[in-house]
Amino acid sequence: MTTIEKSVDVVAPVRAAYNQWTQFESFPSFMEGVDRITQESQTRTHWKTTIGGVTREFDAEITEQHPDERVAWRSVDGPQHAGVVTFHRLDDRTTRVHLQMEYEPESLTEKAGSALGVVGHRIQGDLDRFKEFIEGHGETGGWRGDVDRAPQQGEVPPPGTGGMNPL
């Protein structure tokens, strides 16, 4: 697995940055190679991407989501990857958006691109375009629901938790 961590500071309050990030269908506006995202349910998205001339479709699920704090996901099928985006208040008007992602390069081309830092560069570009998007358009909506992390093997969830808790 390859791990990438990137951040960008946006001139937007935490609530606005978080709300915009939860509008997955807007991702093609600022993510290179993302053709379309369809929100299938509150925790499932379907992605169509074209990267390096290769078109792929896959599903991803939200594994944890807490308003103004974090959104974590993992792929369900297709290219294996998982990650988390966290939102950090720097001041009343500025938020640091931090992305950490792990992925498994599949083809020889993907492995070479990973070794050369191409994916990290692309992700930083996506974050920079998110900054331009949120600062130029403001937030276009938001989902304020809460998705608790599923218990790990051997862990017992606290009473009344373990699932989605809409606010």
pLDDT for 165 equals 36
Binned at pLDDT 50, 70 and 90, residue 21 comes out as very high
Tally the residues of the chain.
167
Output 97 or 165, whichever has higher pLDDT.
97
Q: pLDDT, tens digit, for every residue of 56-113?
A: 999 999 999 999 999 999 999 988 899 999 999 999 999 999 999 998 887 787 778 7
pLDDT for 142 equals 77
Q: pLDDT, tens digit, for every residue of 111-128?
A: 787 788 888 899 999 999
For residue 77, the tally of other CB atoms under 10 A from its CB is 9
pLDDT for 22 equals 94
Helix (H, G, I), strand (E, B) or coil at 52: coil
pLDDT for 151 equals 64
In this model, does residue 150 exceed pLDDT 90?
Answer: no
Query: Quick check: 43 and 164 in contact, CB under 8 A?
Result: yes
> pTM to 2 decimals?
0.84
C-alpha 36: how far from chain center: 14
In this model, does residue 54 exceed pLDDT 90?
Answer: no
**How far apart, in Å, are the Cα atoms of 136 and each of 65, 130, 167?**
25, 10, 28
Binned at pLDDT 50, 70 and 90, residue 162 comes out as very low
In this model, does residue 139 exceed pLDDT 90?
Answer: no
For the chain, list the domains and their CATH numbers. 2-142 (3.30.530.20)
In this model, does residue 141 exceed pLDDT 50?
Answer: yes
Structure-block tokens of residue 166 = 């809409």
State how far the Cα of 141 lies from the Cα of 16, in Å rounded to an integer.
9
Supply the mean pLDDT for the chain. Answer: 87
Closest to 30 (Cα-Cα) out of 44, 17, 42, 13: 17
